[in-house]
């Protein structure tokens, strides 16, 4: 049983040995849990001590591995705890550093263990948490089957929601549209109409090239600049994953007169498609909907994938066939008085989300709703 810090795991001479250990653990098929994905994050310095995402990997022989991060902020998490941080600050108590387990900058429901959830490994993690100066411990975007595991370690379970598209066995996009109310179907058809010079191309596997990585990075940074957001991911990250994770990546490119003007990056496995990043250098009506939603649905239906997780937030997804779906996270706090207050916060928030999700579901565009 041992704890491996990020530098010793990837960036020193033992990298190949650790890669071998990672590969020996029977892990889920999620592209976000591939060794190459975490390696790209670290080697590109998209994560690390200087970014406020200091990686920790807890391993148990060749049976299980758990990933977590020492966080000095709450950016890039998508399960927002800024209110909690402010609550601590108002009472003169430090909220950071904290421990957070999630795939960085990725609002996807993914296992928190490679291999099986190990109670022995979790006890080692809990001991590390208790012995060090962390305010709290967080596991974000839990799978439903993980909930009872974390409850057994006295974690509070928080509920939120996202919007997911479910493939109901549709033959193609037209078949999907046939299940929508006429008004909504016509709206989507109209949104998919573009000038003749605008074309859309899907690249995956051997068709992906380094130039696509450069394009996607350019589009990614254009969105960051437009929204005055933080460019978490570095150029080297895109170059690395486009080379090493070809079979798990879908890059959708929009061109105008054969010149790339926009792109969207997806990840996928045999069951799910995950929408992640997009950007454009030209403003064209409905281009975002086409690249981030309709091209994804098309790909889902072509590959017979069951679920399309299109990322966090966005009520406009409902009218385009995405359903509000519960998401879960687990939280623990060292100071009992803060845990008690936050438990009440989580309970009240959950009631609000239950009401909101029910109301949003009434706006689904399907004929049988």
Q: Is residue 313 part of a domain?
A: no
Distance in angstroms (rounded) separating the CA atoms of residues 182 and 177? 9
What CATH number is attached to the domain comprising 343? Answer: 3.40.630
Q: Would you place residue 22 in the very low, low, confident or very high pLDDT band (cuts 50, 70, 90)? A: confident
Is the same domain home to 7 and 88?
yes
pLDDT at 293 over 90: yes
**Model confidence over 126-152: pLDDT tens digits?**
999 999 999 999 999 999 999 999 999
Is residue 257 located within the same domain as residue 337?
no
Q: How far is residue 369's CA from residue 363's CA, in Å, rounded to a whole number?
A: 8
Say whether both 259 and 125 belong to one domain. Answer: no
Structural domain including 85 reads 2-162+325-361
Same domain, 9 and 153: yes
| CA–CA gap between residue 197 and residue 193 (Å, rounded) | 11
Distance, in Å, from the CA atom of 149 to the CA atom of 64, rounded to the nearest integer, reads 15
Three-state secondary-structure class, residue 134? coil
Q: Residue 14: pLDDT above 50? A: no
Same domain, 287 and 179: yes
Domain CATH for 239: 3.40.630.30
Structure tokens at 209: 């090239």
Per DSSP, the residues of 273-342 read EEEEEEEESS--TTHHHIIIIIHHHHHHHHHT-SEEE--S--GGGGGGTPEEEEEEEEEEESSHHHHHHH
**Cβ atoms 47, 53 nearer than 8 A:** yes
Q: Is the pLDDT of residue 5 over 70?
A: no
47-64 pLDDT, tens digit each:
999 999 999 988 887 778
The verdict on 80 and 102 lying in the same domain is yes
- Given this model, what pLDDT does residue 20 score? 63
Pairing of strands 272-280, 307-309: parallel
The answer to the question of residue 366 being in a domain is: no
Q: What is the pLDDT of residues 147-170, one digit of tens each?
A: 999 999 999 999 999 999 999 999
| DSSP states of 47-114 | SBGGGTEEEEEEEETTTEEEEEEEESS-TT-SS--HHHHHHHHHTT----SEEEES-TT------SEE
Residues 17 and 143 in one domain: yes
In a domain? residue 314 = no
Is residue 115 classed as helix, strand or coil in its secondary structure? strand
Which of 202, 248, 187, 230 shows the shortest CA–CA distance to 29? 248
Q: Are residues 197 and 278 in the same domain?
A: yes
17 located within any domain: yes
- Same-domain status, 291 and 352: no
Total structural domains within the chain: 2
Judged by DSSP in three states, 162 sits in strand
Residue 37 and residue 107 in one domain:
yes
Which residues are bridge partners to 157 per DSSP?
Answer: 330
């Amino acid at each position: 049983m041992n704890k491996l810090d990020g530098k010793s795991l990837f960036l020193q001479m033992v990298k190949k040995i650790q890669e071998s250990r990672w590969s020996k653990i029977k892990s889920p098929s999620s592209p976000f849990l591939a060794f190459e994905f975490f390696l790209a994050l670290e080697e590109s310095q998209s994560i690390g001590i200087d970014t406020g995402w200091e990686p920790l990997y807890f391993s148990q022989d060749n049976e299980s591995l758990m990933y977590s991060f020492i966080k000095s902020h709450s950016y890039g998490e998508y399960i927002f705890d800024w209110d909690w941080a402010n609550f601590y600050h108002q009472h003169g108590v430090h909220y950071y550093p904290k421990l957070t387990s999630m795939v960085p900058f990725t609002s996807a429901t993914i296992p928190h263990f490679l291999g099986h959830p190990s109670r022995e490994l979790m006890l080692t993690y809990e001991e590390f948490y208790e012995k060090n100066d962390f305010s709290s411990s967080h596991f974000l975007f839990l799978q439903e089957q993980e909930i009872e595991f974390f409850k057994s370690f006295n974690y509070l379970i928080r509920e939120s929601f996202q919007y997911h598209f479910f493939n109901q066995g549709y033959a193609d996009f037209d078949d999907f549209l046939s299940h929508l109310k006429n008004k909504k179907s016509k709206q989507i058809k109209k949104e998919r109409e573009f000038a003749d010079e605008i074309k859309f191309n899907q690249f995956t596997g051997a068709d992906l090239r380094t130039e696509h990585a450069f394009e996607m990075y350019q589009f990614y940074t254009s969105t960051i600049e437009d929204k005055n957001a933080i460019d978490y991911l570095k150029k080297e990250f895109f170059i690395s994953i486009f080379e090493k994770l070809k079979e798990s990546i879908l890059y959708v490119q929009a061109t105008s007169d054969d010149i790339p003007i926009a792109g969207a990056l997806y990840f996928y496995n045999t069951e799910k498609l995950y929408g992640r990043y997009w950007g454009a250098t030209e403003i064209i009506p409905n281009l975002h909907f086409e690249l981030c939603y309709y091209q994804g649905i098309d790909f889902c239906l072509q590959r017979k994938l069951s679920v399309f997780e299109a990322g966090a937030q966005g009520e406009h997804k409902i009218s385009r066939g995405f359903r509000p779906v519960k998401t879960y996270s687990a939280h623990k706090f060292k100071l009992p008085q803060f845990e008690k207050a936050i438990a009440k916060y989580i309970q009240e928030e959950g009631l609000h989300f239950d009401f909101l999700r029910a109301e949003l579901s009434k706006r689904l565009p399907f004929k049988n709703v």
